[in-house]
Copies of this chain bind each other. A is one copy, B any other.
Amino acid sequence: MTQHRIAILGASGYTGAELVRLIATHPAMRIVALSADRKAGMTMDQVFPFLRHLDLPPLVKIGEIDFSQVDLCFCALPHATTQQVINALPRDLKIVDLSADFRLRDPAEYQKWYGQPHAAVELQKEAVYGLTEFYRDEIRAARLVAGTGCNAAAGQFALRPLIAAGVIDLDDIAIDLKAGVSGAGRSLKENLLHAELSGGTHAYSAGGKHRHLGEFDQEFSKIAGRPVLVQFTPHLLPMNRGILASVYVKGDPATVHATLAGAYGDEPFVKVLPFGALPSTRDIAGSNFCHLGVIGDRIPGRAMVVSVLDNLTKGSSGQAIQNANLMLGIGETAGLMLAPVFP
């Protein structure tokens, strides 16, 4: 099979490492360049010993990469930095970005959620939103694809078909989300220490302040053709991988289930459980699958949709490869059918 030449910018973070993990057994991708600014000069196995068995290029600075020898570039850098880096890359280079920088279409929304003006508005316009199942055709044709937020992906898999079908009350949607800690990245913060996080839980970015709300607002309003605001409260859990979104909606539970089952019937990665069954994050960890469950409440007209996915895979690096597969004309599922790891 043709081996597409891949560069990964920001390879020293968790999403970078997850890209390497997945590409390691991808039949049609070969890593030719890895960047990590502060760790340039190191080898990948010094930064991530779990990749010791792979023969990988050394970590370099971005400027050292010859992009003419690269077919597609994954960009796993922090937001803000990302716009500047991508702005300086060749304009014909295929790019899948995993940061937040190109998710929002509206520069004003970007500024509102990220606190500063966007420095590459033209690119922002060009970028395609990377929720594969809903933007397949655009992604196939795209040069620059913006990976979604991991929480934003979990919530959208539960809600997009319901909003599109008009089967739920648009003014009363609450997403109570439980997130594993790898979503916070390899950053040195007190609340991410094992001693502080294990054995407990707490909410964070509550009260409508989490930045992934920008994505919910943009996407849900677009689908509905009117403004849709959801409540969204994430909680940090003592687990490394996985997101579970408990989505409270008002609508007929059976209709909600039928709508989701219909929407995802042919999807290779999104599985809808039988009505009344609810999924566990343990059943998708390490994989590109999203499991959805629907249950009705004892109060008529209320339903809960539970959506689970692995934040690093389906919520980030797996999604990125799924998009890259489309952009490179490879089969969409190539390299992504790895089964979840249990127990």
Contact = CB atoms under 8 A, between A and B. Distances in A.
A201 B283 contact: no
Given A246-B176, A298-B229, A24 B281 contact: no
Interface residues of A, number: 87
Interface in A204-261: 206-209, 213, 229, 231, 233, 235, 237-242, 244, 246, 248
A134 interface: no
A22 to B, nearest CB: 8
A103 interface: no
Nearest to A195: B343
A54 B339 contact: yes
Interface string A277-297: 011111111110101000111
A53 B341 contact: no
Contact of A286 (B176, B188, B341): B341
A265 interface: no
Contacts of A174: 174, 248
Interface stretch (A61-69, A123-131, A143-151, A178-186): A178-186
B286 A53 contact: no
A291 B197 CA distance: 18
A21 interface: yes
Contact of A200 (B281, B295, B298): B281
Nearest 7 CB-CB pairings of A with B: A208-B298, A200-B282, A202-B280, A188-B188, A195-B343, A50-B283, A176-B176
19 contacts: A14-B195, A24-B337, A174-B174, A181-B193, A181-B194, A182-B195, A188-B190, A194-B196, A199-B240, A201-B244, A201-B281, A203-B278, A206-B295, A207-B295, A207-B296, A208-B299, A231-B304, A233-B246, A248-B248
Interface of A: 14, 17, 20-22, 24-25, 48-54, 172, 174, 176, 178, 181-182, 184, 186, 188-190, 192-203, 206-209, 213, 229, 231, 233, 235, 237-242, 244, 246, 248, 268-269, 271, 273, 276, 278-287, 289, 291, 295-299, 302, 304, 306, 337-343
